[in-house]
Amino acid sequence: MSKNFTALGSIVVFTVFLFPGGPAQAQAQCKLGVPSIKVGVQGVASGPLADYGRQIEMGATLATEEINAAGGVLGCRVEMRFMDDENRAATGVKNTRLLVTDWGANFTVGTDSSGVAMALGPVLAELKRIQFFTHAATQRLTEELVAAKGIKEIVRVSAPIYQDAIVAALLFKDRKDIKRWATIGADYEYGYVAWNLFKETLRKYRPDVEFVGEAWAPFLTLDFSPHIAAVMAQKPDAIFATPWGGEAVQLLRQALIQGVFDNVQVWWQAMGGSVDVLEGIAAEVAKDRFKGKLWATARYIHNWPDTPENKAFVERFRKRWARFPNYSAETTYSAFFIMKAAVEKAQSLDTVRVLGALKGMQIRNPAGVRVFRSEDQQFIYNVPAGRPVIDPKYPIPVLGDLKVFEAKDYYRNPPFTPVAITK
């Protein structure tokens, strides 16, 4: 028995010493009277989408370091803690409760998954803490939970699903050679809503267009060949594709193998402008295997806008992490500076006062000028669409031949009408 206790004791001691912790150093000159401003951050950091969470963490870390190096927020040091939400709503909720009620987070930032984001909404209202969402794209987060249900603790910094769907409709509405569209869609709400919004918008401009095929790929699909074959059997002129991350890379490679780019005029890969996708298809882009027919966008692309702020941000990010910033990195980085500006204006960490300070905010971020819209607490900004191309200035492909649309032309506006969220 004593041997067993010794073994148990060893494990406990091992755990405690392995993960030591200590109180944060107080900052004497903090005008808010707190030892530090605590910001809890979470994203997917395990599993096949882990790079998105990693990019969130990199953006948050860089922002924290830069803010602290410049004297903090009203003299208060910013303290950041990142947690893996495992792409599971239950874990995201548990993390938020830990970060707010145990660690004492003043704000939370991040969240990749729409499902996790929707689960967090009621919890944020209960805890009375603001979360700046930096990736989750479902329109329901802002249209339903904020505008309709009044959960004011939700603020979204990243572009929602309008970017994926409505931009595509505006981009291709004048292509008279494209009359037959088909989708290879993500088999969950994101895929359905993107396709429905795209169809709804394009029909307004092009009543002659037909939507001839749909194939839905569940999360973590590895073999897209049956989906590709199913839609190609309908002889579409163009494909609207919404699988993202590593799935998008796999889908595009299999489409090349099946000769899709010999038979369609356009392939729209909604979030294909993400750094991980561009890295994944670098060899194919270099050989021009997509024949200029592949188009994509993202919630931020590192080669646009062509401003000193953006260039400097990308340079600092590359120096710090030896990677290009993905959109979830930029949106998270910017969320910290939005939080900083709001706290400085409110002169307080109080949720209601900080929300008040966000009203009317226009802020220049690496992605350009973001404007806060009070009705749904969505920050509005432009992101262009383009074709993946090789640019000698960059070691990975970038989106080129950029088409810029004004955000006011492609963001849905309040009062919101419901969007079909089924196939």
Residues of this chain that interact with other proteins (CB under 8 A) are 1, 4-5, 7-8, 11, 14-15, 18-19, 21, 45-46, 53, 57, 81-84, 87-90, 93-95, 97-98, 101-103, 114-115, 118-119, 121-123, 126, 138, 140, 149, 188-190, 218-219, 421-422
Query: Shortest Cβ distance from residue 249 to other proteins (Å)?
Result: 21
- Least gap, CB of 135 to other proteins (angstroms): 15
Nearer to other proteins, 102 or 177 (CB): 102
CB nearer to other proteins: give 189 or 237.
189
**Least distance CB 373 / other proteins (angstroms):** 22
Shortest Cβ distance from residue 149 to other proteins (Å)?
8
Reported residue count of the chain is 423
Minimum distance from CB of 185 to other proteins (Å)?
Answer: 13
- Between 100 and 238, name the residue whose CB sits nearer to other proteins: 100
Nearer to other proteins, 134 or 365 (CB): 134
Nearest approach, Cβ of 87 to other proteins (angstroms)? 8
Secondary structure of the chain as H, E, C letters: CHHHHHHHHHHHHHHHHHCCCCCCCCCCCCCCCCCCEEEEEEECCCCCCHHHHHHHHHHHHHHHHHHHHCCCECCECEEEEEEECCCCHHHHHHHHHHHHHHHCCCEEEECCCHHHHHHHHHHHHHHCCEEEECCCCCHHHHHHHHHHCCCCCEEECCCCCHHHHHHHHHHHCCCCCCCEEEEEEECCHHHHHHHHHHHHHHHHHCCCCEEEEEEEECCCCCCCHHHHHHHHCCCCCEEEECCCCHHHHHHHHHHHHCCHHHCCCEEEECCCCCHHHHHHCHHHHHCCCCCCCEEECCCCECCECCCHHHHHHHHHHHHHHCCCCCHHHHHHHHHHHHHHHHHHHHCCCCHHHHHHHHCCCEEEECCEEEEEECCCCEEECCCCEEEEECCCCCCCCEEEEEECCCHHHHCCCCCCCCCCCCC
Q: Are 385 and 297 in contact (CB under 8 A)?
A: yes
Q: Residue 121 CB, nearest distance to other proteins (Å)?
A: 7
Nearest to other proteins of 84, 237 (CB atom): 84
| Least separation in angstroms between CB 18 and other proteins | 7
Least separation, in Å, of the C-beta of 410 and other proteins? 23
Cβ-based nearer residue to other proteins, 85 or 330: 85
Among residues 139 and 365, whose Cβ is nearest to other proteins?
Answer: 139
Q: Which of 89/314 has CB closer to other proteins?
A: 89
Report the residue number, 178 or 184, with the smaller CB distance to other proteins.
Answer: 184
